[in-house]
Amino acid sequence: MLKREVFTNLLEAKVLVEDYRSYYNHQRPHSALAYQIPAQFVAAADLGRKVEDASGKLEEIESILTLS
C-alpha cells in the first residue's frame, strides 16, 4: 500500500503512515492470528493484563502485535 505512494513532504508521509498503521492494527485480518485483527487477538488472549515480576511488583505485559 505505502510502497506506491510518493510523498510530497514529511507531514504527508507521517499522516499516511499513521493511517496505514491504524488500518494494519485495527482493521486488517492477519493469517498468523487465524484471520483476526490484532486488536481482537489481544482482547481474546487478554495480553493487556498485568503480571507480577520476580520482586512481586505488578507490570503490564506489552503487546508485540502492533506495528510501530
Grid cell in block for residue 46: 487478554
Radius of gyration of the chain (CA): 16
How much of the chain, in percent, has pLDDT values that exceed 90? Answer: 18
Backbone dihedral region of 56: left (phi > 0), alpha (psi from -120 to 50 degrees) or beta? left
Grade residue 25 by pLDDT with cuts at 50, 70 and 90: confident
Grid cell in block for residue 48: 493487556
Grade residue 68 by pLDDT with cuts at 50, 70 and 90: very low
Residue spans of the domains in the chain: they are 8-60
Mean pLDDT, rounded, for 6-25:
90
At residue 42, the pLDDT reads 79
Which range among 1-5, 11-15, 38-42, 45-49 has the greatest average pLDDT?
Answer: 11-15
